[in-house]
Amino acid sequence: MVEIYDVAVVGGGSAGLSAAIFTSRLGLSTIIITREIGGRALINSPYSRRSIENYPGFLSITGLELMSRFEQQARSYGANFVFAEVLKVWEDGNSIFHILTTRGEIESYTLILAFGETPKRLEVKDEEKYEGRGISYCAYCDLEECKGKVVAVVGFGERVLLSTSLLSRVAEKVYLIYWWGGIGEPIDLTRFLEDKKNVELITLSSVSEVKGSDRLESIIVQGPFGEAQREIKVDYLFIELGFEAKTDFLKGFVELDENGKVKTDRDCCTSRAGVFAAGDITDSRYKQIVISAGDGARAALSAYNHLQRKRGGTPLYTDIFALKKQRILERFED
């Protein structure tokens, strides 16, 4: 028999992990569906001077460490994880939500959308074919698989350096392909590479082709201005090209704004009963880790109250004084 979870959370960033902490601690069976842990918080790297300094309780903390703590806390309360991409969601006639993922179908009684903005693809031939079979968008998620392996990372900015830094600790060799399309503040790559003897830097380049049989075996690195191509044999390729909102699969399921963000009310409720949304994927104006985490908590409490009402239980934070007043009035009326 297929297990139906009380709550399915789509997203493994601050909003999704916070939601899972609250729902799991309230005793609801919870599963988190995500392609990676951390989301945009990971741009605050452990080697960077730009650590997170506005999250309450920490004078300074890296995004990796903060999100790792979120994940650990969610797991400690019993939350389950599946690392996959959501392809489609729908609700059946029994008010059960179905989430079709790249690793199968998941069912739940409530749904919390907290996936933020998703990683951008390279958009090269066979990229999707090798996803999960050598191509990854999350170095942190696949770190254990890279021990003693040869890997490559393509991208730009601090996020690609974070992935390279993590992988250099376990991999035999890391190719850092600093993408020519990258924009943003200058980064001192020489300083970054000082203590990383197993990292080879390939600047102003990109990956133009991925090759293999059942799984990824090599990549073609293309320099700018028609320079000669270079084939490199690798076990893994990590793609770090930034983020974009991908909510096309939600069209017709919940109401979206003109930018494709999910519309919510002050309790993180969407236009569909039983579906809630939190964090950067919503139409909320402000995008901060602490705000996303707060959204996740509110969405979790709203999901809990929704289930309590359906199951005849008592919702959290009921106005006790209003109930007492109502009961007194009912006695006088009798």
Tell me the HSE value of 203 on the side-chain side, using a 13 A CA sphere: 5
**Which range is most confident: 63-67, 69-73, 161-165?**
69-73
Residue 91 has what pLDDT?
A: 97
pLDDT value of residue 49 = 39
Give the mean pLDDT of the chain: 88
pLDDT tens digit sequence for 13-38: 999 999 999 999 999 999 999 988 88
Most confident segment among 53-62, 103-112, 202-211, 253-262 = 103-112
Nearest to residue 130, comparing CAs of 152, 109, 112, 114?
152
CA distance 202 to 178: 6
Say if residue 154's pLDDT is above 70: yes
Mean pLDDT of 255-269: 93
List pLDDT tens digits, range 103-120: 999 999 999 999 987 778
Please tell me the distance from the alpha carbon of residue 113 to that of residue 90, in angstroms, as a whole number.
13
What sign has the CA pseudo-torsion 5, 37, 246, 300? Answer: positive
CA distance 183 to 249: 29
Q: What angle do CA 122, 126, 129 make, to 5 degrees?
A: 110
Q: What is the CATH number of domain 4-119+244-320?
A: 3.50.50.60
Mean of the pLDDT values across residues 93-97?
95
Beta partners for 88? 100
**Structure confidence at residue 45 (pLDDT):** 41
What share of the chain in percent tops pLDDT 70? 88
Residues near 105 by beta carbon (within 8 Å), at least 6 away in sequence: 98, 99
pLDDT-based confidence at 327, cuts 50/70/90?
low
pLDDT tens-digit series, residues 73-88: 999 999 999 999 899 9
Give the architecture (CATH level 2) of 135-241.
Answer: 3-Layer(bba) Sandwich (3.50)
- The more confident residue out of 153 and 46 is 153
Task: Please determine, for residue 310, whether its predicted confidence score (pLDDT) is greater than 70.
Answer: yes
pLDDT at 334 over 90: no
Q: In the chain, where does the domain assigned CATH 3.50.50.60 lie?
A: 4-119+244-320, 135-241
The CA distance from 274 to 107, in Å, is 13
